Amino acid sequence: MGESLRVLVTEPIMDRFRDTLTRSGTGPHEWIFARGEAALGHAGTADVLVCSSAAPALLRAAPNLRLVHVTGAGIDKIALDALPPAAALANTFHHGRSIAEHVVTVAMMLLRRIPAGDAAVRRGEWRNVIVDDTYPFGGVLAGRTLGVIGLGEIGSAVAELAAAMGMRVRAVRRDPTAPRPAAVEQVGPVSELHELLAASDVVVVTIPLNEHTRGLVDAAALAAMRPDAILVNVARGAVVDEQALHDALSAGTIGGAGIDVWWRNPRDPDAPPPSHLDFSGFANVVLTPHQSGHTEEVFRGRAGDIADAVDALAEDRPLRNVVRGPSGA
């Protein structure tokens, strides 16, 4: 049996998965669920920190940390320079299928004009192709082309699900020679983005945000899309140019959009609106609050990974999904 560890959990959503986290296979680890000043008070004796973000003050208050385990894939909210030398940094995933189902759902909603139909019924209006010969027909996914921008875990999951729905799948990615899912018929470099956009009925953005991808989907890229094509962004808001997307929707030069990721974090007190532009008036847009990966299955799987990592550390077994080893290795 391995040693007993002291685990500090500061991410609030993990409170809902205590049963999974604390089902240790090695022994009675001590699990402490705290945040803010309370977390700082427990940090000094913690062996493991479970968090989505960690400021320098918290990490400097925890010199004995041997593992910092984030509760998702991103480590951009971890103060890497303040990590204790002996601490490894690990992450977890499980969100690919959840986000893929969201993408397909949004695409189907827009192809069937469900947002507009829902709004009309709520207003007391009854319009469809049977009673109104000017009402546009909806469409199906089968036979249409999906263009995927980025082909990591999320992009690959979207591609596989879309192909199962009968779609043809193409993609662009940073390294087009890397192994790709069998569902993807063609992969090109990001320099072929406009060609991909021109050929796609549905475009999904899954590429990471960095200095090369910020504003990648700009006015010129949107102009390359078909006038009935749909754009779904589940990556980061800033990959798509905010003003350019609003302009394209206003002008009707694209068929619609699904926006799950935004340009500002509404939890930040200095920037409350997720966008400075109003996307709420468009009937051909589905707006969601960055929830495409928020399913119970995702967080249950992540909690299981974290529990396994704590047990592995206690038994001196190799850790999985290590982003950075002790002392920055």
Concatenated DSSP letters for 95-161? -HHHHHHHHHHHHHHHHTTHHHHHHHHHTT----TTT-TTSPP---STT-EEEEE--SHHHHHHHHH
Assess whether 21 and 160 both reside in one domain.
no
Q: Is residue 276 pLDDT above 90, yes or no?
A: no
Other residues' Cβ atoms within 10 Å of the Cβ of residue 286: 21
Name the residue with tokens 């069937």. Answer: 112
Q: Is residue 283 pLDDT above 80, yes or no?
A: yes
Least confident of 83-87, 94-98, 188-192, 269-273: 269-273
Q: Is residue 329 pLDDT above 70, yes or no?
A: no
Other residues' Cβ atoms within 10 Å of the Cβ of residue 202: 28
pLDDT in the model for residue 271: 67
Average pLDDT on 72-99 reads 96
Other residues' Cβ atoms within 10 Å of the Cβ of residue 96: 21
Total count of domains within the chain = 2
Q: Is residue 102 part of a domain?
A: yes
Q: Is residue 63 part of a domain?
A: yes
pLDDT in the model for residue 17: 98
Q: Is residue 65 part of a domain?
A: yes
Assess whether 87 and 125 both reside in one domain.
no
CATH number at residue 276: 3.40.50.720
Residue range of the domain that includes 120: 96-287
Assess whether 204 and 117 both reside in one domain.
yes
Q: Is residue 257 pLDDT above 90, yes or no?
A: yes
CA distances from 99 to 2, 58, 109, 190 (A): 36, 31, 15, 22
Q: Which of the listed residues 287, 304, 320 is the one where a domain comes to its end?
A: 287
Q: Is residue 328 pLDDT above 70, yes or no?
A: no
pLDDT in the model for residue 267: 74
Least confident of 16-30, 112-126, 251-265: 16-30
Other residues' Cβ atoms within 10 Å of the Cβ of residue 64: 14
Assess whether 276 and 130 both reside in one domain.
yes
Q: Is residue 238 part of a domain?
A: yes
- Encode pLDDT of 129-159 as tens digits: 999 999 999 999 999 999 999 999 999 999 9
Tell me which amino acid residue 125 is: E
* Residue 131 contacts residue 120 (beta carbons within 8 Å): no
Give the single-character DSSP code of 277. S
Assess whether 24 and 122 both reside in one domain.
no
Average pLDDT on 284-295 reads 97
- Encode pLDDT of 187-226 as tens digits: 999 999 999 999 999 999 999 999 999 999 999 999 999 9
Average pLDDT on 241-268 reads 94
Assess whether 115 and 264 both reside in one domain.
yes
Which one, of 12, 46, 11, lies nearest residue 30 by Cα? 46
